[in-house]
Amino acid sequence: MEIRSNGSKWAGEPPDTLDILLERLTKHTLDPTFEEYGNFIHEEDDDAFLAQCPEYRGTWHAFGNFFDYSHVFNIRGTRDELAQLRTAIRANQATDRYAAAKVAIEARKEERRAYEAAQREKWERR
C-alpha cells in the first residue's frame, strides 16, 4: 500500500496511518464533492493513465477529504489492502450526516449559479 497523503500535514511530515483515517471516517463526514472524482475509491482502469503509469494496473485508488474536518487522503493499494477502507467510506456515505452535506453543497452550488447569473446580467446591461 502506498500512502501518499493522509491527514493535514506540513511538508515533510509523515502521513497518518490507515487506522487514523478509519477512525476519522466514524466521526466526521466525507465531502460529497469527491463523488464527482471517482466516488472516493475506484479501480485504476483508465487506459490513458495506465499507458503512462503501467505500475498501477490492477490497483485501487482512494482519495478525498472531509466536509467538516480537514483531513485529505490519497492512498493506493490492492483491492484487498483497501477493502476495509472501502467499507468504511461506503458506511460514511450511508449516514444522515452525509446526506445533509450533499444538500448543503447543492445549496452552495445554486447560490453560486444565481450569483454568476446576476453578474452576467449586470455586465450585459452596461
At 97-110, the pLDDT tens digits run: 999 999 999 998 89
Domain boundaries, the chain: 2-124
pLDDT in tens, 15-28: 889 999 999 999 99
What is the average pLDDT across 74-90?
94
Q: Is 3 helix (H, G, I), strand (E, B) or coil?
A: strand
Task: Report which of 36, 39, 40 is spatially closest to residue 21, judged by C-alpha positions.
Answer: 40
Which one-letter amino acid corresponds to residue 108? R
Kindly report the CA angle at 71 between 46 and 76, in degrees rounded to 5? 30
> Which grid cell sits at 106?
447543492
pLDDT at position 53 is 82
pLDDT at position 48 is 83
Q: What is the pTM of this model?
A: 0.81
Q: How far does CA 60 lie from the centroid of its chain?
A: 14
Task: Report which of 14, 36, 18 is spatially closest to residue 86, judged by C-alpha positions.
Answer: 18
pLDDT in tens, 34-51: 998 889 988 877 788 778
pLDDT at position 47 is 80
In contact, 63 and 6? CB cutoff 8 Å: no
Confidence grade of residue 122 (pLDDT, cut at 50, 70, 90) = confident
